Amino acid sequence: MNAKKLIIILLILMMLSIPITFAKNGDYTVPSVVKDITVEKDGSTVITEKIVYEIEGSVNGVFRDIPLKDNQSVINISVKTPGYYNKLDIERNDSNVKMKVWLYNDEAKTQKTNNEKVEVTYKYTITKGLKIYNDIAELQYMTWGNDWNTNVDHMESNIHIPCTKDDVEYWNNPETYVTSSEWTSTDTLTTKLDNISSKTSFEQRLLMPKDYFENATNAQIININAKDLIEQNQREYKQQNDFNATVSTIYKIFIGLLCLIPFGVYLKYGREPKIDYDAEYEYDVPSDESPVQVNAIMVGDVGEVDIDAIPATILDLIDRKYYRIVLNDQTSTIIRRTDKDASDLREYEKSIIAYLSKYEENGDISIGEFGKKSNRSDFRSFMFKWLKDAKEEVASESVIEKYFDNSGNRIFRILALAFMLFIPLSLIFVLLRVIPIRVSPFYIYSLLLLFVMAIIIIILPNTLGGRWTREGKEKHEKWKNFKKYIKDYSLIEERPPASVQVWGRYLVYAAALGCADEVTRNMKQYLNSHDVSEDYFSQSSAVSFAYYNGFAHVESSVNTFARTDSDSGISGIGSAGSGGFGGGGGGTF
């Protein structure tokens, strides 16, 4: 049970950490982007980007990274920030240009922006981005790079070419987020996209007649015929993209089916049978099962024996005259083994007798002294073995099998193991590109969902996946109603036990059901209110034992030893999607 609690705590902490992670100071979102890409006749490309940042908390500013390839360069950089003052810093190296835009609310540039919606317009020119081959001119532009850590709600791209759209081919790599892409004039291609995921790139590729460009000093000149190769590359890219989309769809369907399987298992194996029994209370012991059997049926997972079964068994042995009470008062309880033959007892009952005998002195066993002389390690070793042996003995008696069908719970456990194995295997296959699925937010959330479902399946009681037989359901309801009766003093007053011996049996089963303290209080209140003599108690060893706190002494010793230590104190032609130039990323700083 402690392990289950630990798992639950870790899950809660993990869930609580998610909003903290996403709410840190300086986070931002990008609701909209509008880009104009103007291809000049000299081969240079003028880029104008209007990016809207919604900034959480206080930041120094925003930045934009432009990666460079080969002999490309970025010139004529300027920035506008309507409604805000700015300072532009440009950092250059051989492979990258970074534009850092410091943002201020005042002209003196002393007040940083805080929880603002800022529109930043970047304008710059890229040289050597356009490629001119022997047979064609190519614009391969990464309109949006995969270095952005946020989604984009809406983006519009306008590509302006130097002549008309006649004989121009274009591709969007990929088409996933594109809502429309069309020529809005003879020289302008307008493409609109929605809900672009973070860490996602989007490329646009155009093939134009090379005679559009005269004296193209700012283009890359590549001495090969490229048109057929590029078209073939785009066909292969589309085939691969279509295949990836199919795999992604199959994966989503598979995840959906995995999530539905537990519900199907519950519907087939977990729904309880209907029975005719409808009594509200049981005023007598419902059946003759042993206290340990009742504990296995009623407390926690069906078939498991918990710590309450140990004091219940001791009290049962006292009630059945295997021990007699030598001394019993508020401070001390001493019992002595009788000469009653124990050969017919169950093995777990014999092992209790054997364990207690280790602490005899002249035949007497002091419950208080037992607590002092025993040690936690010794008792816990005994306890774990005893619980295991008792569980196996109860199972061998076919009581659980008779009353409870555990098939659904076994399937649940297999599912939980399958989910736990699927998560790392899926990650390995995806990261190694054995399975062509992008590590998207959906993919991460789907694995998280499977993990949470596996944990839930593990910690749920086996009564959810399994179900009672008709006989077991009636038996369980009767014991549950009996427990309600013995815990309710008003019902005890109305329908008291017929004799002190019956009181004794009630106390034994109350211990097995985990409610001995409440039932003992009810018994004391009832007996005291009726002026019962001490001679009356002596007719039942269990009643006498409980009345004078003997059972409390046993529970105290057992529970103290049962606690853990922690409880007491854890070539020149680019491939489709690669981007000839452009892309990069940005954010806040």
Contact present, 136 and 207 (Cβ < 8 Å) = yes
> How high is the pLDDT of residue 16?
45
pLDDT digits (tens, 9 = 90+) for 268-280: 888 888 999 989 9
pLDDT digits (tens, 9 = 90+) for 319-347: 999 999 888 777 778 899 999 999 999 99
Integer Cα distance of 3 and 433 in angstroms:
36
If one counts every other C-beta atom within 10 angstroms of the C-beta of residue 566, the result is 9
Would you state the CATH architecture of domain 27-225? Sandwich (2.60)
The pTM (predicted TM-score) of the whole model is 0.63
For residue 340, report the phi and psi dihedrals to the nearest 5 degrees. Answer: -65, 135
pLDDT digits (tens, 9 = 90+) for 208-240: 999 888 888 999 999 999 999 999 999 998 998
pLDDT of 425 over the 80 cut: yes
pLDDT digits (tens, 9 = 90+) for 509-528: 999 999 989 999 999 898 88
> Of all helices (H) and strands (E), which one includes residue 176?
none
* Residues pairing with 90 in the sheet: 99
Task: Give residue 4's pLDDT band: very low, low, confident or very high (50, 70, 90).
Answer: low
Pull the structure tokens for residue 523: 């018994």
| Amino acid found at 82 | P
Integer Cα distance of 255 and 213 in angstroms:
51
**So where are the chain's domains?**
27-225, 272-406+466-563
> How high is the pLDDT of residue 568?
41
Q: At what angle do helices 309-319 and 500-512 cross, to 10 degrees?
A: 160
Indicate the average pLDDT of the chain: 86
* Cα 323 from chain centre: 51
pLDDT of 486 over the 90 cut: yes
Give the three-class secondary structure for 88: strand
pLDDT of 541 over the 90 cut: no
Residue 578's contacts (CB-CB under 8 Å, 6 or more residues apart) are: 140, 203
- DSSP secondary structure letter of residue 15: H
Give the three-class secondary structure for 483: helix
Cα torsion for 64, 70, 76, 82, to the nearest 10°? -20
